[in-house]
Each structure stands twice: as structure tokens, then as C-alpha cells.
Amino acid sequence: MKLDARVPSGAIEKLWDQARFEMKLVNPANKRKYTILVVGSGLAGASAAATLGELGYNVKCFCFQDSPRRAHSIAAQGGINAAKNYHSDGDSVFRLFYDTVKGGDFRSREANVYRLAQNSVNIIDQCVAQGVPFAREYGGTLANRSFGGAQVSRTFYARGQTGQQLLLGAYQALEWQVHEGRVKMFPRTEMLDLVVIDGQARGIVTRNLVTGQIESHVGDAVVLGTGGYGNVYYLSTNAKGSNCTAIWRAHKRGALFANPCFTQIHPTCIPVSGDYQSKLTLMSESLRNDGRIWVPMKAGDKRAPQQIPEAERDYYLERRYPSFGNLVPRDVASRNAKAVCDEGRGVGETGLGVYLDFSDAIQRLGVEVIRERYGNLFEMYQRITGEDPYQVPMRIYPAIHYTMGGLWVDYYLMSTIPGLFAIGEANFSDHGANRLGASALMQGLSDGYFILPYTLGDYIAKTKLGKVDAGAAEFQSAESGVAELTKKLLGIRGKHTVDWFHRQLGKLVWDYCGMSRTGAGLDKALCEIRELRGQYWRDVKVPGSADDLNQSLEKAGRVADFFELAELMCLDARQREESCGGHFREEFQTPDGEAQRDDEECSYVAAWEYKGAEHAPGLEEVLHLDEVLHLDEVLHKEPLTFEYVHPSQRSYK
């Protein structure tokens, strides 16, 4: 299979305008004849469904929550980037493009990133027009703050709840289209398979999570805006319902999966406090504007932070990276936090934590200014930990937060299956090996409001779409497959719960494919994941029935997909013999511990093609098991070229 990104030729600043001009259009009167299925109603999905509805298409939008307002997009706290240059501090579209490519450690497609930077300025105007209450300066102008990996202030924010406010804006636009009859919502409905007919994505199979009913939905194109797969690690900052099922089932139908090992560790999360936890909590990166990160100079120092004098504190990010200080990119901040904890200088009972201290900012600016900027975040931290961050430093530690990998898409956001589009975190498109803070919201809205409505129309206008109905053999086969999988999960009647298996899997992936990886560790993980997956299919306990609300059954299907994805993540990490961004192979690092890329051999997008599952007889003998399956995945490579931002060793010093 040859990957064709379909990037137009010409000057990068003109590519998107040129592409839009060359696209074929659908007559406004004809748009209502086409049905578009949008799966997911977070920022990417809601903005896409609302815009497509307003354009006149017949849209069906699906979400597994009871309302689009509960999408995980609300958890984004700190802000959204845009190259408005309101501070006249040297920002520009090109600088945002440059920072994003560099921040992603030169593993993203230049054309897509430049388009994202171009669209950023339009996103802010769109959201202000919707009434999103961005923070403003005293004179009424929109306020900005800084985020990691940038030396300008380009992040627009609404206190510590930017994602929620942006989602409410998209939700209002979506509900207007629902009211107008152009969008139909299907809440509490989960996509469980993709239907491909004559090589084109023509529908999906869903399960109603309240009644258990399995249904087919026919469309002329399918859009997946279902978010990322961070919950493969069990403990993450993602909402508990976030999962990989939609994109993974599409992958098994022929959509290539790109860069699965590129996962992001967020440096400012509340540390793990015990084995009982089911998720972790994010503390916004915006806190690093005014908070200073430090640990004791001496290993094993267990004094209270107030008792440690200034001379005995190590502000290690400010020491190592004087140019960026506490605002280095997330992968750099996370690795440094792990390093000082590995030295025995971590804080808290577990020693897995560092301090985020606001005492200097409070003394300089006053409590009220800090409360105005971060009040809801401070309140959330105090409720969870019982500690007052106005009085004592926060304790933070890295945790899984975002996934840069996802379905491979071309410049037009279409996967390798014609008619199947992936937007937002569900695709791999813009962030390379590491996403800069405040860029997830930017990408989701750029894809949904400003890219997909053009590119999907171009596909519709150019493609001959035959008449299809839910009685087609492909739909019936997909429905039978979903029903059979459901029956199989309920029929195992083993000893261990789905959560027990998920926790074991998550620990395996975190230990061997988390903040740092090694070849030997990844080999071990692959063996143990396959063994655990075999045990899952023999010994998982899924109570209840398929005919009503059954959250254990929901989780069982999702964790089954996580097992397979975890194996692919480790395969991808094993074959990428370099360190870049969030993918840190301990064998490949500079003398001072920074990621060492191999641009000669590894400047590519890894795109994996699913070929099925095979028996592993040698492994079956070693593990003394009757059956061990391993994925049969074929690697394809999309070469990356850099004409405008030339690869160099990243330096934030």
C-alpha cells in the first residue's frame, strides 16, 4: 500500500487556499440528499456536526454520553492557542507553525501544521461570536497567557475551564441545528463497527447503551471524532468512558493506524495516592506561568516544604533550561520530574512528586490576582488533597493525558478507507511526537469548523455513491459480528472483573511503554500483554445481560480493544529505534539526557495495517497455554520532509 498524503504543491502559506479553490463543490440544494454520520460530540465532533448541518447536509451525530456537554473536551483547562499577536511580542502564524513542528520533535507533516496555525486566528473570532467568555484585560481586550514550548503569550483562556466554555459554544451551535431538523442526536449510543461497501465507508453499527439494541446506520460518509486512547494505561487524566473502540474497529476494517506509540505524559497532575484510584486529575499547564517547580537539593529530605530554606531547593527546570524555565514542553518537564524522583529527591509519602510553588507569585501579585487566574483549579486541588495551595506548594507528578497517535489521514483528513474521516485527537495529524499545551482545542475546532466541511464536500462531489440500505449483506454481517462478540463476553463467566484486567494491562503499558522505554522492556511487555489477553478471554467476569443498561459489558468490549491496541503501541515503540518527543527510548539519548532522534532512518509516519491475529505456537509453549494470539500488523511509512522548519536537536536552554 502506498500512502498518498495528497498535499498540494506550492508555497506553504498558499496551500490551503489553493486546495479549497481546487475542491469540487456540492450544490446547496443537493446537500440535503446526503447523510453524514458523525461519531463523537466533543469539540471536534460537535463543531463538525453543527457546521455540516448548517451547510445543509443531513447529519446523524452519536455519543455514548447522555449529552454532548459531557464530552471529555470539558476537561481541557488552560487555554487555546492562536497567533493573534495581541501582545505585539513577536508572534505570527509562522512562529506558531514553527513552535508546533519543533515541539512535536519534527515528526509531523509540515503542511497540516501550517494550516492549523492559519486557522487558529479564525477559531478565536468564531468562538467570541458564539459568546465564549474568554478572559479579558481591564480595557476589554482579550487576555493571553503563556504555555509550554513558546516564548510568546498566545493562549486565550476562560479561567481554568476553557474546554468547557468552548464546548458549550459548539454545543449551542449543534443544538441549533438539532432544533432546525438538520442534525439528529443519538445519545447513549456507542459505535461498535464500521461498514465498508465497495471499498467505501457507508455506515456504522451501534449499540444503544440503555436498551442494548443493536442498530445499523447508513451514510454517505463517516466522521470519527471520538478522542484519544490514553485510557489504555488505566490510570490517566481522561474521563473513564474515553476509549479507542471506534477508531480501533475502523482500523480492523482497513484504516491504517499511525504512530500509536506517540503518547503524551502531562507533567502537572495530582500524584497517585493509592491502589484504589481509578483515574488521575489534571492540574492545568497554565499553573506553570506563575508556579515554580522545585525539589529538595538532598535526596531523602522529608521536611515540610516551609522548613526547607531557599538555598536547599533545586528549581531544576529553571536551572537546566534558563530560556524557557518552567514553561518547557510537556515531554521535557515530565522526563525531568521523573529523573529527580529517580534520584530520591521526590516529595510526598510515595516520593513520586515535585512541588509547584506559588509563594513568590502570591507575594509579587497578591492572593486576589492568583485567585482570579486560577481560583477554580486551586479549589479543585484542595478538595482532592486536603491541602491549601495558597499556603503550601502543590504536589504534582506526570500522568498520561493525550495521544498524538491515531488513524492515519491525508491532508484532507480522510483515512485510507475512502469516505472515512478522522478529526481531532482521533487522528494523528498535527502534533508529531509531542503536543504543545493549548493545542488540542485548537486542532479539534480547526478540523471541525474550518477543514472537514470543505474536504468532506469535495469527497461527496467527486465520488459516485451507490444506493445502500441497512439490509445489505455487509450490514447484516457487521451486526452479527457485534452480537456474537457481545454473547462471547457474557458467556465467559470467569473469576476476575474487567477492571481487574484493565488495571493489570495499564500497569504493564505504563511500566514498559510509558515515560521511558527500552528494547528489552518492550519485548517483555509484548509477551506479557499477549499472555494477559489470553487470560482475559478465558477468565473475565461480565455480569448482567445484553438487553439493558450494562456498564460491565460496555467496559468489557472497550478493554478487549485496549489489549490489542496496547500490543500495537509496543510494536510501534519497539521498531522506532530513536527517541523523539514523548517516545523516549533509554538507549537513544544525548549525553545530558535529552531525546536523540535519528533523522536518517526515522523521519517518517509509522502507519500500521491490520491483517488479523495469528497463533504464536512458540509463545504458547513457553507460557504453557493452549492458545496465544499475536496481531499481524504490517508497517507502512510516510516519509516526512521539512522545507520550512529544518530538523535540529531541540534545545530549550
Whole-number average pLDDT of the chain: 95
Contact 24, 17 (CB under 8 A): no
CATH, range 265-400: 3.90.700.10
Cβ 214 vs Cβ 481: under 8 Å: no
pLDDT reported for residue 631: 83
Q: What is the pLDDT of residues 200-242, one digit of tens each?
A: 999 999 999 999 999 999 999 999 999 999 999 999 999 999 9
Q: What distances in angstroms separate CA 269 from CA 86, 357, 467, one per listed residue?
A: 30, 14, 50
Instruction: Give the pLDDT score at 291.
Output: 97
Give per-residue pLDDT as tens, 65-107.
Answer: 999 999 999 999 889 999 999 999 999 999 999 999 999 999 9
The torsion defined by the Cα of 134, 77, 232 and 247, in degrees rounded to 10, comes to: 0
Q: Verify whether residue 650 is a known catalytic residue.
A: no
Helices (H) and strands (E) in the chain, counts: 19, 21
Write out the three cell numbers for 526. Answer: 509484548
66 neighbors 143 (Cβ within 8 angstroms) = no
Spell out the residues 6+ positions from residue 29 whose beta carbon is closer than 8 angstroms to its own: none
Q: Alpha-carbon distance 401 to 504, whole Å?
A: 19
Question: Strands 35-39 and 221-224, how do they pair?
Answer: parallel
In this prediction, what percent of the chain has a pLDDT beyond 90? 94
Q: DSSP readout, 114-174? A: HHHHHHHHHHHHHHHHHT----B-TTSPBP-B--TT-SS--EE-STT-HHHHHHHHHHHHH
- Rounded Cα–Cα distance for residues 651 and 653 (Å): 6
Angle separating helix axes 15-22 and 110-130, nearest 10 degrees: 80
The model carries a pTM of: 0.96
Please enumerate in sequence order all residues whose Cβ is within 8 A of that of 38, keeping only pairs 6 or more positions apart, or say none: 45, 48, 49, 52, 59, 60, 61, 62, 223, 225
Per-residue confidence band for 1, with pLDDT thresholds at 50, 70 and 90: confident
Angle at 103 (CA atoms; ends 100, 108), nearest 5 degrees: 65
Kindly state the average pLDDT of the residues 489-503. Answer: 97
Count other C-beta atoms under 10 Å from residue 598's C-beta. Answer: 13
Cell of 324: 524557557
The span from the CA of 43 to the CA of 50, in Å, is 10
| 281 and 270 Cβ atoms separated by less than 8 Å | yes
Phi, psi of 369 (to 5 degrees): -65, -45
**Angle subtended by helix axes 110-130 and 162-180, to nearest 10:** 80
Q: Taking Cα atoms as reference points, which of 65, 23, 30 lies closest to residue 45?
A: 65
What value does the CA radius of gyration of the chain take, rounded to a whole number of Å?
A: 24
Q: What is the pLDDT of residues 152-191, one digit of tens each?
A: 999 999 988 999 999 999 999 999 999 999 999 999 999 9
Q: Which cell is 517 given?
A: 522505554
- Domain ranges for the chain, please list them: 265-400
Q: Could you tell me if 573 and 585 are in contact, meaning their C-beta atoms sit under 8 angstroms apart?
A: yes
**The one catalytic residue among 330, 435, 530, 597:** 330
How far from 515 is each of 369, 521, 638, CA to CA, in Å? Answer: 35, 12, 25
Rounded to 5°, the CA angle 584-233-264 comes to 40
